[in-house]
């Protein structure tokens, strides 16, 4: 399995920022992934997995070692009779939601507007529109880079919480996930709910500019976007990074932004909210690499 060196990562994130990977590869099957993991382990390379790059802020300095992008590891099997769905790590969440709807399987309608992959959603417990991935997850097939063997863990063993899972602290690599959806529904009805959720998101969120989705977790029962908007921060800008004028919990790349601009704006919003409301907003987005 070949890898490339000094590959810019901006094209592999939805924010369109980030420096180069020292080494970079996009495996197309499990065998290639295992070869890459074995090589990284044997060579003592740092290892980083990314999917669709929709929840990542990668440093302008880039990432050392080997970066593996799983977005080519696609595929899903849906059983309309039982509602069981098995999806590969690189399968796009919107694609899976649409396929489930066409099969008359309910339970993923909330996910159609999430610009991520199954692997990333499993790790982050992605959620929207009142639903989250943990609600329908049965188990996950993982691989340990140190040993190279695949194993299965049930959802109950992954310590799921709000935008949290045990996988965020582990080195395991997600290979696939198995879901239990609701069989026997009308494809038209599930499709209508799915489309309505997408319309709700696209009409209220800034999809016309590069973003990472929601930047901050909601400090329930409060909403991060409302707190930020109440301080008049919509439109506030540092370099090419701007608090969206459409939805205050989005930071968009208006053109030419750097990761340092995104990082500085995140910290500024946190400081302003903490000063005004006495609470610290916690980012959903994961920072990778060095930041000042």
Q: Which of 26, 91, 109, 284 is catalytic?
A: 284
Let me know if 98 is a catalytic residue. Answer: no
Choose the catalytic residue: 59, 111, 176, 214.
Answer: 214
Q: Is 5 a catalytic residue?
A: no
Selected catalytic residue, list 163, 165, 176, 185: 163
214 a catalytic residue = yes
Task: Outline where DSSP puts E strands in the chain.
Answer: 4-8, 20-25, 47-50, 56-58, 63-69, 76-78, 84-88, 127-128, 131-132, 137-143, 150-154, 173-180, 237-238, 241-243, 251-253, 286-288
Q: How does DSSP assign 249-290, residue by residue? A: T-EEE-SS--HHHHHHHHHHHHHHHHHHHS----BSSEEES-
Q: Which residues of 204-216 are buried (b: 16+ CB within 10 A; e: fewer)?
A: ebbeebbbbbbbb
Tokens linked to 252: 């968009």
The residues annotated with a catalytic role in the active site are 163, 214, 284
């Amino acid at each position: 399995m070949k890898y490339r060196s000094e590959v810019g990562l901006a094209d592999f994130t939805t924010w369109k920022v980030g420096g180069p990977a020292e080494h970079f590869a996009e495996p197309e099957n499990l065998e290639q992934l295992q070869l890459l993991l074995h090589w990284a382990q044997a060579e003592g390379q740092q290892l980083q997995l990314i999917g669709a790059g929709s929840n990542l802020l990668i440093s302008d300095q880039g990432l050392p070692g080997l970066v593996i992008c799983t977005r080519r590891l696609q595929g899903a099997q849906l059983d309309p009779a039982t509602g069981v769905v098995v999806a590969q790590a690189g399968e796009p969440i919107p694609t899976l939601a649409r396929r489930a709807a066409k099969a008359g399987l309910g339970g993923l309608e909330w996910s159609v507007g999430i610009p991520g992959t199954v692997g990333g959603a499993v790790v982050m417990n992605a959620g929207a529109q009142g639903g989250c991935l943990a609600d329908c997850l049965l188990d996950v097939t993982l691989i340990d880079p140190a040993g190279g063997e695949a194993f299965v863990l049930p959802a109950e063993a992954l310590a799921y919480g709000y935008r949290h899972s045990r996988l965020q602290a582990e080195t395991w690599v997600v290979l696939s996930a198995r879901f239990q959806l609701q069989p026997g529904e009308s494809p038209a009805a599930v499709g209508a709910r799915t489309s309505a959720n997408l319309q709700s998101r696209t009409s209220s969120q800034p999809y016309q500019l590069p973003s990472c989705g929601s930047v901050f977790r909601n400090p329930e029962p409060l909403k991060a976007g409302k707190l930020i908007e109440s301080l008049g921060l919509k439109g506030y800008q540092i370099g090419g990074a701007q608090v969206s004028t459409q939805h205050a919990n989005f930071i968009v790349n208006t053109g030419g932004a750097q990761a340092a601009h995104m990082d500085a704006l995140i910290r500024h919003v946190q400081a302003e909210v903490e000063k005004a409301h006495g609470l610290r907003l916690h980012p959903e987005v994961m920072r990778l690499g060095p930041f000042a």
